[in-house]
Amino acid sequence: MTICVVGGGAGDGKTTLVELVARHLAARGRQPLVIDCNPDQNLGSYLGFSERELSAQAKIGENFSFLKTTFDARHPQLSVLMPSAPPIWSTRWWDATNSGDPVLRKFALATEDGIAFMAAGTYRTGQFGSGCYHDHSGPAEYMLTRLDDGRGGRKKQVLVDNVHGADAFGTPLYALGDVALVVASPTRKSREILALYLDKAAEVQRELGFVVPIAVVGNRLSADPARRDREDGLLREAAQGKLIGSFETDGALMRDLDSNRGPSLADLTPHNRRTLSLIEARIDVADRKWEVRRDWLNHCLGASASWANGAKGTDVTWQKSDFVPAARGHTCTDGCGHPVFSGNWPGRRPAKSNLKSEP
């Protein structure tokens, strides 16, 4: 499953939550993959990688050409392909459950406790601000839409640390995940940004007819029970029934100033350990709908067409697709109905294609 993590203002603890959930899943033997698309690019150091290791790591945002030729070498519009382009009949897929997969070999570092880590890379001048982040996070978005995470997402959990605040609306990632975890603190500013996420999700549902699967996680609540109850009430009201749990202030969450390493799960308060279990439970009931993902990408292509058509010199809306992976006739040994890709999908041209070749 793809879990896109977004949040309020800087300092609300979004990146720390990604780290905590990844370590919790790893401790449960689930070997998650985490992808850092946050402009701060500090998740790697949180996971314990050295500056030397992170400097040598290949960055997703700098390798869109590699990704395009790996996944869509037979695409009719390969040279002008947009990051939001949905998969088509000839798309190849990468296997996040196979450590030998070429995408994992190129981009992923591994922690001692079984977490795989990828990074979009450092954002350059001109790639900041709502509407600009997509230049750098787009390749990660493109890669995620060609992901085989096994049994309809049940075999691999992929956590994506997105940009924070309202700037998250500058990329399609905020609505691309099978779960959208929104981190919010009890502060007025953070609750106002949470309201923006919920309003945007409601707008998507009205206009496109599908639900953005939002789950809200509270953070930085007081450890004092009475005060925490009041703060929890504020968040529950703001979350409109979507709050699944909250983290209280915990000395174990403090980082070592020298190493930047984060907390040990064993040192967390019982309340915070329960919250991690609640997040895992929400991830486990996520339900992927390929049609929704395709329709969202088609929408994003159309929304960017006024700019992209001029930049690419062609009509990028030709890259919209009616292809649905689960409709390709696959049957599974356990009857789950998911598509099996594993990087080797042969690509059969359908009887009719809505894609036009480049002029």
94-103, 253-262, 328-337: lowest mean pLDDT where? Answer: 328-337
What's the rounded mean pLDDT across residues 171-192?
A: 89
Nearest to 35 by CA among 120, 113, 103, 141: 120
What's the rounded mean pLDDT across residues 260-278?
A: 88
What's the rounded mean pLDDT across residues 270-293?
A: 92
Confidence of residue 72 (pLDDT cuts 50, 70, 90): very high
For the domain that residue 87 is a member of, what is the CATH number? 3.40.50.300
pLDDT of residue 345: 33
**pTM for this prediction:** 0.87
What's the rounded mean pLDDT across residues 231-254?
A: 92
pLDDT of residue 258: 58
Asked if residue 227 belongs to a domain, the reply is yes
Q: Above 90 in pLDDT, residue 275?
A: yes
pLDDT of residue 155: 82
Greatest mean pLDDT among 31-40, 160-169, 261-270: 31-40
Structure tokens at 45: 């150091």
pLDDT of residue 149: 84
pLDDT of residue 355: 47
Confidence of residue 128 (pLDDT cuts 50, 70, 90): very low
Asked if residue 31 belongs to a domain, the reply is yes
48-57, 318-327, 341-350: lowest mean pLDDT where? Answer: 341-350
Nearest to 150 by CA among 357, 351, 354, 339: 339
Comparing 261 with 240, which gets the higher pLDDT? 240
Asked if residue 266 belongs to a domain, the reply is yes
Q: Above 70 in pLDDT, residue 32?
A: yes
Q: How many structural domains are present in the chain? A: 1
What's the rounded mean pLDDT across residues 69-97?
A: 90
pLDDT of residue 260: 64
Domain that holds residue 77: 2-327
pLDDT of residue 39: 86
Asked if residue 56 belongs to a domain, the reply is yes
The SS3 assignment for 246 reads: strand
Long-range contact pairs involving 297-302 (C-beta distance under 8 Å, separation at least 24): 297/84, 297/85, 297/86, 297/145, 297/172, 297/176, 297/321, 298/86, 299/208, 300/84, 300/172, 301/82, 301/84, 301/85, 301/86
Asked if residue 337 belongs to a domain, the reply is no
Phi–psi pair at 103, nearest 5 degrees: -70, -45
Mean pLDDT (the chain) is 83
Q: Above 50 in pLDDT, residue 338?
A: no
Structure tokens at 102: 């070429």
pLDDT of residue 47: 93
Comparing 10 with 88, which gets the higher pLDDT? 88
What's the rounded mean pLDDT across residues 264-286?
A: 94
Comparing 263 with 104, which gets the higher pLDDT? 104
Nearest to 282 by CA among 238, 244, 246: 244
pLDDT of residue 259: 59
pLDDT of residue 154: 78
Q: Above 70 in pLDDT, residue 272?
A: yes
Structure tokens at 205: 């549902």
pLDDT of residue 99: 87
pLDDT of residue 10: 67
Percentage of residues in the chain having pLDDT higher than 90: 49
Comparing 101 with 129, which gets the higher pLDDT? 101
Comparing 339 with 150, which gets the higher pLDDT? 150
